[in-house]
Amino acid sequence: MLKIENINFTRPQNRSQNLVFSYDFSLSEGEILAVQGPSGVGKTTLLDLIAGFEVPDKGIMSWNDSDFTALPPWERPVTTVFQADNLFSHLTCRQNIAIGFTKSRFVSEAEIDAGFERLGIAGLQSRLPDEISGGQQQRVALVRAMLRDRPVLLLDESFSALDWESRCGCFDALTEMTRNRAMCVVIVSHDERDAEYLGCRTLRLTH
């Protein structure tokens, strides 16, 4: 279970005003949570806190009762897929997948090919990122995240460049992976159809 307990984070705005964000929720294994709300309410800030890119003023974040609040990003049980996919332009799509793994977590070509097939991008493994569309790049990034096998997956507008049919295909793969691997997924989206299609719980943030 992912627990975000009484997390507060302050973002300075100017000399006389600060933005204070507060979060408190839990997420069971195999569950997806859609975080929604207007711009500026702290949706991406929440993901940054869970990933370790921001440090909370107070509160505890834990996975199965193991506190990871003070851990650096690379030691957390978390994988993040950003709106910008962050692929290396000089590496093929297959190399972009493989580079994120070590000897302790070997990923085979067959696993990579299966991931590409599942997300409808089979045949793009040998292409460079600038040779494929933005939506296809996002799906490559999602394959990489799926294969990392970490229990918490954070998605920040990761499907925004996809048409609805392609997005639904990714959602189907995401739902299957989440249940089969007993993961927790937190997805930030401005499109309310996403949560409806996923049939998941929604956390709506307000100013």
Q: Are 85 and 49 in contact (CB under 8 A)?
A: no
- What does the pLDDT look like over 119-172, one tens digit per residue? 889 999 999 999 998 778 888 888 888 888 789 999 998 887 788 888 888 888
Question: Average per-residue pLDDT in the chain?
Answer: 88
Residue length of the chain? 207
Residue 174 pLDDT > 90: no
Q: Are 78 and 150 in contact (CB under 8 A)?
A: yes
> Percent of the chain having pLDDT more than 70?
94
Cβ burial, residue 20 (10 Å; 0-12/13-18/19+): exposed
Q: Which domain holds residue 104?
A: 2-204
The pLDDT assigned to 102 comes to: 60
CATH number for 72:
3.40.50.300
Instruction: Identify the top-confidence range among 69-73, 88-92, 157-161.
Output: 69-73
The token pair at 25 is 């929720």
**How many folded domains does the chain comprise?**
1
Residue 52 pLDDT > 90: yes
